[in-house]
Amino acid sequence: MSDTEGTIRVVLADDHAVVRQGIRQFLESSGQVTVVAEAADGLEAMRLIREHRPAVAVLDIQMPHQSGIETTRAIRAEQLPVGVLILTAFDDEPYIRAVLEAGANGYVLKTAEAHEIVDAVHAVSEGQSALDPVIARKLMAQFAHRPPETDAVPQEPLTDRETEVLRLAAKGFTNKAIGAQLSISDRTVQGHLAKIYDKLHATSRTEAVMRGVTLGLVAPGLDQAD
């Protein structure tokens, strides 16, 4: 357990000590996160995750011995109950795809504002997805020109409110931010997303957004969340 009750316990992994120090400082200054351990490479990160059982592992992609992608795969292979947030400078499509396919819950760029990264840690700790708006736009652009998937057409159309929720999710908003935009509770947003997943035959927020793009429910190249 962390020394600070009620905070989100995090293992932080980055091969640059100065970067770790900066990330730790703004995470903990929020009063909502406690970094219980730091690692300089992927293998050390795995050892610390097994030892401390944090709510969230915040991982860089390029690290010695074992990358963040490989570490994510290892976490999922061992079925550890840990949310994975990738925090990196890389926004290249191959990295994005590899990270999401490995089972990461979130992908945020180091250029994001401190509060956005804290929000992403919160979202991942609650079992939600967290995509940097830049990453969301890249993914949508990638899927925008694919032919519609006939098996993805919903048997029941989305309601107007569900479409609103899906479009805000595509912009990178967390459940809390979507609720604030629509004046509804986080729980109500979660309920709408569950219905969206069911109708679009999706298993995650990212997959729902991608299918929304192919079906024309979400326009590619959306502006970044305000």
| Predicted local confidence at residue 202, as pLDDT | 80
Q: What angle do CA 116, 10, 27 make, to 5 degrees?
A: 40
Q: Smallest Cα–Cα separation from 134: which of 115, 114, 116, 122?
A: 116
What is the C-alpha separation between 30 and 76, in angstroms, rounded? 28
CATH classification of the domain holding 201: 1.10.10.10
Whether the model clears a pTM of 0.75, i.e. scores above it, the answer is no
Q: Is residue 226 part of a domain?
A: no
**Which of 74, 100, 131 is where one domain is finished?**
131
| Domain extent at residue 17 | 8-131
DSSP per residue over 78-91, as a string?
TT---EEEEEES--
What is the C-alpha radius of gyration for the chain, rounded to an integer number of angstroms?
17
Q: Is residue 101 part of a domain?
A: yes
CATH classification of the domain holding 29: 3.40.50.2300
Q: Which amino acid is at 8?
A: I
Q: Is residue 143 part of a domain?
A: yes
Q: How far is CA 161 from CA 66, 136, 157, 178, 179, in A?
A: 43, 21, 11, 11, 11
Q: Is residue 182 part of a domain?
A: yes
Q: Is residue 222 part of a domain?
A: no
**Which of 64, 96, 131 is where one domain is finished?**
131
What is the C-alpha separation between 81 and 49, in angstroms, rounded? 10
| Predicted local confidence at residue 24, as pLDDT | 95
Q: Domain count of the chain? A: 2
One pLDDT digit (tens) per residue for the chain, 226 residues: 334 457 999 999 999 999 999 999 999 998 999 999 999 999 999 999 999 999 999 999 999 999 999 999 999 999 999 999 999 888 877 788 788 888 888 889 998 889 889 999 998 998 887 887 777 766 666 555 555 554 555 567 889 999 999 988 877 778 888 999 999 998 899 899 989 988 888 877 777 877 777 677 776 544 444 4
The CB density around residue 6, as the number of other CB atoms within 10 Å, is 8
Q: Is residue 106 part of a domain?
A: yes
| Predicted local confidence at residue 205, as pLDDT | 77
Q: How many CA atoms lie within 13 A of 42 on its CB side?
A: 18
What values do phi and psi take at 59, rounded to 5? -120, 140
